[in-house]
Chain A
């Protein structure tokens, strides 16, 4: 184990993958993890080593996403970084209509081994167009895998799986996670999709969160401890495919479910998790399911307005206390 930043962990996974598989080409490497606190010598060596496989393409998200699909079905493993997730909306048709459908429409003739990486979340005065969290939009489209890591160790292991996957995978990283640090196992390892993890064990209430919200949930759990509430924090890590078992087992233990979601709650991942638990484990619930998320408005720019809208540990603490009537 070595302490590393989230950015370093993703870089390690990408380097390891490129070392092992010559069919991986990267588009938009410079806006991915390069220049985000990596040792300059490592960056320089990486760029020199993979000169012919690193591309900084024209600002053409639409064709770039399509190039991903066309080259993936032709035998490459493209890794495409859009930067901010709002930019991927320019390519929505290609991601949904081409990447997600190609395998099914071809009756299984085609494989689409492709990673779309993007940064999501409320980053601080990002305004409406630089604060999106599009995970539920992609999850709603068949054929796309959706991954949201929360720790450096998970980022490395999930990135390895995403690159090895023969399906189009949306790897969605919170901008604010890049500089966070954590213990990362040395060497090569992969974390399978649909394998959630209990990030903190507890007995009174289950809090489900992903990406940056896991960190807020863990903060909230510490605050709740002082109030005599023992919260369990569950991170499903992937939205599609989803580890329902991990969430349900926790709810069966605690009898209460609160879901923390950074996106608007309308048709959100939190909505889906609520439905799954209500359908499959209703008898385990001692109280109604609670969702905490951002209001259904474009994200405002002003810090005071943004803070009001952004889901965080204090808002989660309030919701849990209300649920437990404390």
Chain B
């Protein structure tokens, strides 16, 4: 069993989650204001998974994410102003406006090429794992991906490759399949885990709605990966955010009011059930119940995050669009 988390570590996890949430809410507001922004795949509802994984990575570890990358990147410590500017296609963005929402990269926090192809991250992360092994510095490579990736042939190839060559890779699957709605994956296998398991990869399941459960599971997975130099597949079961749509997200659940954590009377409407279960409010309730945080501390944390977001928004809004002629430069080193 992993060590129990310190009060500071728990607050830090909560802050990471709130940072991810407030960032995405800001993206929605900016998309309403600037109509050209829109086709974003938001991370709302996934924070329990991303915050735990990002908290556990060490300097030099490599991360490979997908079209749903905002939460991962800002959760790992990328400048939220630069991340927002990138989504807005501005010169001051992480990639100078060349990548946008789908391809955010920040090598300063270990994020390599971000692919929007379903299955892209899993192949690239296998390459990252191969590099970690060859370079021998004890780092690991993480593939972050959704359950739909298991539909793609490359996932089979990647699991086989990683297993054959014993590569230090965390295959972190964020399964946000919506029960009773359009399925995000269509597998003849009973469970996602059956696929990597068939190729002799150790597998685990965690509850994506419970950040500490994810933290404990991923912590164990990473310890195994680092010690034995093997891949591990972790499936995080996530209750999908009702606003998530294939084209444009809809702000169905509204901006998260953190006081709902202690004032259940404020929770109402069509999405009340989701709000009650979503990872941030769940975690605040847990910490409050265990006397690990006070309402004032939660409010202060939120104020701190909101201030960060206000600065990020000012930075992104002030950043100009890239000089048009620059479009023809930079395809080659």
Contacts and interface: CB of A to CB of B under 8 A. Distances in A.
A226 interface: no
B133 to A, nearest CB: 9
A17 interface: no
A113 to B, nearest CB: 8
Given A107-B98, A109-B106, A70 B124 contact: yes
Contact of B154 (A66, A100, A108, A166): A66
A180 to B, nearest CB: 31
Contacts of B165: 55
A71 interface: yes
A70 B331 contact: no
Interface stretch (A73-81, A273-281, A297-305): A73-81
B146 to A, nearest CB: 17
A37 interface: no
Contacts of A23: 134-135
A125 B332 CA distance: 38
B141 A63 contact: no
Interface string A191-215: 0000000000000000000000000
Interface stretch (A6-14, A90-98, A256-264, A311-319): A90-98
Interface string B93-128: 111111100010111000011110100100111111
Given A106-B105, A107-B94, A143-B331, A62 B123 contact: yes
A308 B32 CA distance: 62
A103 B333 contact: yes
Contacts of B114: 105
Contact of B112 (A62, A65, A110, A167): A110
Interface stretch (B155-163, B279-287, B304-312): B155-163
B130 interface: yes
Given A70-B112, A167-B333, A60 B131 contact: no
Contacts of A78: 127
Contacts of A130: none
Contacts of A105: 95, 98-99, 103, 105, 113-114
B160 to A, nearest CB: 6
A74 B64 CA distance: 11
Contact of A98 (B62, B115, B130): B115
Contacts of A112: 333
Contacts of A69: 113, 123-124, 127
Contacts of B103: 101, 105-106
Interface in B147-195: 153-154, 157-158, 160-161, 164-165
User: What range describes how many residues of B lie at the interface?
Assistant: 35 or more
B298 interface: no
User: What range describes how many residues of A lie at the interface?
Assistant: 35 or more
B134 A76 contact: yes
B154 A63 contact: yes
B132 A107 contact: no
Given A63-B154, A105-B95, A58 B333 contact: no
B265 interface: no
Contacts of A154: none
A108 B96 contact: yes
A109 B165 CA distance: 28
A145 B124 CA distance: 20
Contacts of A25: 130, 134
A68 interface: yes
A111 B160 contact: no
A35 interface: no
B161 A97 contact: no
A101 B165 CA distance: 27
19 contacts: A25-B134, A55-B165, A58-B157, A62-B123, A63-B123, A63-B158, A66-B120, A66-B126, A66-B127, A74-B128, A76-B134, A97-B115, A97-B117, A98-B113, A106-B107, A106-B113, A107-B99, A112-B333, A165-B333
When A and B form their complex, which 8 residue pairs have the shortest distance between CB atoms, in order from nearest?
A: A70-B127, A66-B123, A107-B95, A74-B131, A63-B157, A166-B333, A107-B96, A60-B157
Given A67-B123, A72-B127, 13 more contacts: A57-B161, A58-B164, A62-B157, A63-B160, A71-B127, A73-B112, A74-B128, A102-B113, A105-B95, A105-B98, A106-B95, A106-B105, A107-B97
Interface of B: 62, 64, 93-99, 103, 105-107, 112-115, 117, 120, 123-132, 134-135, 141, 153-154, 157-158, 160-161, 164-165, 330-333
